[in-house]
Amino acid sequence: MKNQIAKIKEELGTKLSTVSAADGLAVIESSFKKTMKELFTDMKALVPEDKREAGQLINELKNEFEAKFKAMRAELASGAKTEVTLDLSIASPEFVRGKIHPLIRVGKMMEDVYKEMGFSIAYGPEVENDKHNYEMLNMPYYHPARDMQDTFYLEYPNVLLRSHTSCVQIRYMLAHKPPFMIISPGVVYRVDEIDMQHTPCFYQVEGLVVGEGINLANLKWAMTESAKRIFGDSLQVRFSPCYYPYTEPSAAVDMSCIMCGGKGCRTCKGTGWMRVAGAGMVHPNVFEGVGYSRETQGFAFGWGLNRLPMLYFKIAEMRKLFENEISLWEQL
């Protein structure tokens, strides 16, 4: 945002240096107001540390140019500046500012919520190996659960695009000792046909909490609380038994459908619920594989991030998130 503000400042300076009539100045002033409004909107989506700095810069920009406009208005009214260098009363081309993508906006919201709850953020590579993506998550090469998460290979059978962010759990545990609470947002890949709910590349936010006494109630609270902080207190979160090789017990996590308030609609296929995450207590085999004791306690979860901006902004089809449909973006 710093660069953007510097650019705006430079462009405005150039425009102002050539203005010679009050109506030309008015055009610049009104486009400046619009730009300021957009900057303030964009600022709201930043993380708190960046927000503070951006807010200061935006205010400085605002004060500086408002003072300049005032001085120029007085100068033009007094007739002091009469030399015409450029006719700025001709309408200037509309300046269209881009926006932060809904996926990134909701991803940042998630990061902020988890940071508030005391989690740190860890990242892992998108090009992974079989060991981290499957093997050490209790999915040996013959395991049928691999079929549900088929991915793309750069070099068969070992180098692949990660099919989930769960591999960051392994990388993190190999490098750290408990206790810790982390989330790991990122892109994942799967051999999925494109339809209303699926795209071959999508976003997840993984979570991993390991420490003495960590239990299923902690997992339920952490996931419910984070979802409510984003979608509001009326949201309901439902856990039901499910199977993942790397957790035991495992849960499927559903959110009450935001589109219809849980009544049942096309998006939730009439059920009133939307599957948004998988979760569970980390399997002892996984702990053992990273060199921890089998008695270690911890939970893990993985949010399918694409679903969340769909619900937050009420977008019915996932592929819309990847299409450059300007009319849609303008409404968000």
How far apart are alpha carbons 299 and 288 in whole angstroms? 15
Taking CB under 6 A as the criterion, which residues in 244-263 touch ligand DAH? 244, 247, 250
Contact status: 301 vs ligand DAH (CB under 6 A)? yes
Q: Which span sits near ligand DAH by CB under 6 A: 119-127, 154-162, 177-185, 274-282?
A: 274-282
- What single letter denotes the amino acid at residue 246? Y
Contact status: 206 vs ligand DAH (CB under 6 A)? yes
Question: Own/partner pairs for 176-181, CB < 8 Å, 24+ apart?
Answer: 178/210, 178/211, 178/212, 178/292, 178/296, 178/298, 179/210, 179/211, 179/212, 180/120, 180/208, 180/209, 180/210, 180/211, 181/117, 181/118, 181/119, 181/120, 181/207, 181/208, 181/209, 181/211
SS3 172: helix
Rounded (10°) CA dihedral 256, 261, 263, 265: -90
DSSP 148: G
Of 235, 247, 160, 176, give the one whose Cα is nearest residue 211: 176
Contact status: 202 vs ligand DAH (CB under 6 A)? no
Q: Which span sits near ligand DAH by CB under 6 A: 117-125, 231-239, 264-272, 273-281?
A: 273-281
Binds ligand DAH by CB under 6 A, chosen from 227, 279, 286, 308: 279
Q: Are 204 and 304 in contact (CB under 8 A)?
A: yes
User: Which CB atom, from 201 or from 332, has the smaller least distance to ligand DAH?
Assistant: 201
How far apart are alpha carbons 233 and 130 in whole angstroms? 40
Binds ligand DAH by CB under 6 A, chosen from 259, 300, 318, 321: 300
Residues 130-169 vs ligand DAH: string with x where CB under 6 A?
----------------------------------x-x---
Instruction: With CB under 6 A as the rule, give the number of residues binding ligand DAH.
Output: 12
User: Which CB atom, from 42 or from 206, has the smaller least distance to ligand DAH?
Assistant: 206
User: Which CB atom, from 35 or from 163, has the smaller least distance to ligand DAH?
Assistant: 163
Contact status: 278 vs ligand DAH (CB under 6 A)? yes
* Least Cβ distance, residue 206 to ligand DAH (angstroms): 6
Of 209, 173, 231, 223, give the one whose Cα is nearest residue 297: 209
DSSP string for 251-263: EEEEEE-TTTTTS
* Least Cβ distance, residue 301 to ligand DAH (angstroms): 5
Question: What tokens appear for 209 in the block?
Answer: 């909490």
Q: Which span sits near ligand DAH by CB under 6 A: 50-58, 118-126, 243-251, 310-318?
A: 243-251
Binds ligand DAH by CB under 6 A, chosen from 185, 272, 280, 309: 280
SS3 327: helix
* Least Cβ distance, residue 316 to ligand DAH (angstroms): 22
Q: Is the dihedral of CA 100, 102, 108, 112 positive or negative?
A: positive
Q: Which span sits near ligand DAH by CB under 6 A: 39-47, 231-239, 297-305, 315-323?
A: 297-305
Binding site for ligand DAH (CB under 6 A): 164, 166, 206, 244, 247, 250, 278-280, 300-302
